[in-house]
Amino acid sequence: MNGVVYEIPPRSGTSFFLNKGQILTVIDPMGGQVADLLSISRADTGEKISSGRTLDYAETLYLTTGFQLYSNRSNVMLDIIEDTVGRHDFLLTPCSEATFRLCYDDEPTHQGCHGNLVNALAQYGIADDDIPVAFNCFMNVPVDGATGRFKVEPPLSRAGDYIRFRAQMDLIIGLTACSAPASNGGSFKPIHYTIDD
Amino acid sequence: MNGVVYEIPPRSGTSFFLNKGQILTVIDPMGGQVADLLSISRADTGEKISSGRTLDYAETLYLTTGFQLYSNRSNVMLDIIEDTVGRHDFLLTPCSEATFRLCYDDEPTHQGCHGNLVNALAQYGIADDDIPVAFNCFMNVPVDGATGRFKVEPPLSRAGDYIRFRAQMDLIIGLTACSAPASNGGSFKPIHYTIDD
């Protein structure tokens, strides 16, 4: 463990390398905040995290300790090895400027986590259209199984809660501190993360 | 209406143009079969159907008449204008050869709807990695809201049931007759479709 705690300021995003075997811990330092996570193979950036493959193999919407996040080529990218919350979302794609126009028309638009991920990943040649559905850490989207209806509720995470992943391949990670009012209960907060060998 | 009923043979796929304003009807001629549908903008093939954007705007897993299928750029691609079944899936991505290895290890592998879509769309420059989560017509994936667990059940569609879409832009459509045992109750059947002005 290198002991460094990195901070992602509110409504922003970053990217970094995570080597095979390294452990990424995504921490909600104040509670009630969402972090959108993307993973992309360093060996070939066409291989990236896939909600459709992951859900297909997991057979559950609520991914937690013991589940794996798969790529579009059906390879495991990340194992979830610890999780103090147990509620994350893999249905909704990161908010964009269009999302703000369509869903938050009483607020100033913001580029959202989508725009923040586009900016953070451009240096690796990832185009806007290549941003897939992110794994939305701490995002709370309860589903009514009878009707299929769902809504975005404030996260269940409390200050210091975290989710921990082990990389199964050399990865580029994109990670944000959420920009959308609904998913974090209207409060914009930072996200912390650590990388351990 | 041009009166032509096109047939997609069992475990295969096709692609065709659908112009803005035209109506596509996807028909289950025998009942209990699934058809995976992709839409891609003809003006710029980087714009394509997005499960994450569509679910975000619809706020339901069970899309039916009155809902719209959105692109990754938040534009409406297809309106669902009629639906005699009311149960389709937008969670799981089309089966691939890897899906068969991982989920159907007692059966010969098959390229699945993913491979069929790759082959059908290659002529338009769509790469394998660019195939997104498809809208799975007639696919029946009930979800337990309390646990998040879901499973793939046989479709609720009976012979002659259909779902009808109106194009909101000039599209390339990819469409299949499902290749995976679970999603069609172990019976491989054709899919029919019509295109009307």
Report the residue from B92, B96, B147 with minimal CB separation from A74: B96
Considering only CB atoms, which chain A residues are within 8 Å of B99?
Answer: 56, 74
Q: Is the pLDDT of residue A65 over 60?
A: yes
Contact A175, B85 (CB under 8 A): no
Predicted confidence band at A19 (pLDDT cuts at 50, 70, 90)? very high
Does A62 contact B145 at a Cβ distance shorter than 8 Å? no
User: In this predicted model, what pLDDT tens digit does every residue of B66-112 receive, in sequence order?
Assistant: 999 999 999 999 999 999 999 999 999 998 888 888 887 778 888 88
Considering only CB atoms, which chain B residues are within 8 Å of A147?
Answer: 60, 62
Quote the crossing angle between the two packed helices A51-58 and B51-58, to the nearest 10°. Answer: 80
Measured distance CA(B52)–CA(A90) in Å, rounded: 9
Written as six digits, the tokens of B137 are 């017509």
Does A60 contact B102 at a Cβ distance shorter than 8 Å? no
Give me the residue spans of the domains in chain B.
6-196
Measured distance CA(A27)–CA(A176) in Å, rounded: 11
Any alpha helices (H) in A11-159, and if so which ranges?
51-58, 97-103, 112-121
ipTM of the complex: 0.94
Helices then strands, each counted (H, E), chain B: 3, 10
Taking the Cβ of residue B182 and every Cβ of chain A, the question of whether any pair is shorter than 8 Å is answered with: no
Measured distance CA(B187)–CA(B15) in Å, rounded: 23
Contact A84, A168 (CB under 8 A): no
Residue A103 has what pLDDT?
A: 82
Name the minimum distance, in Å, from the CA of A142 to any CA of chain B. Answer: 7
Considering only CB atoms, which chain A residues are within 8 Å of B74?
Answer: 96, 98-99, 102
Predicted confidence band at B42 (pLDDT cuts at 50, 70, 90)? very high
Choose the mutation target among B37, B63, B70, B74 for the interface with A, i.e. most A CBs under 10 Å.
Answer: B74
Name the minimum distance, in Å, from the CA of B23 to any CA of chain A. Answer: 26
Report the residue from A56, A129, A150 with minimal CB separation from B99: A56
- DSSP per position, B160-179: TEEEEEEESS-EEEEEE---
User: In this predicted model, what pLDDT tens digit does every residue of A101-129 receive, in sequence order?
Assistant: 888 777 888 888 999 999 999 999 999 99
Residue B2 has what pLDDT?
A: 65
Report the residue from B48, B61, B99 with minimal CB separation from A143: B61
Q: Is the pLDDT of residue A1 over 60?
A: no
Does A150 contact B59 at a Cβ distance shorter than 8 Å? yes
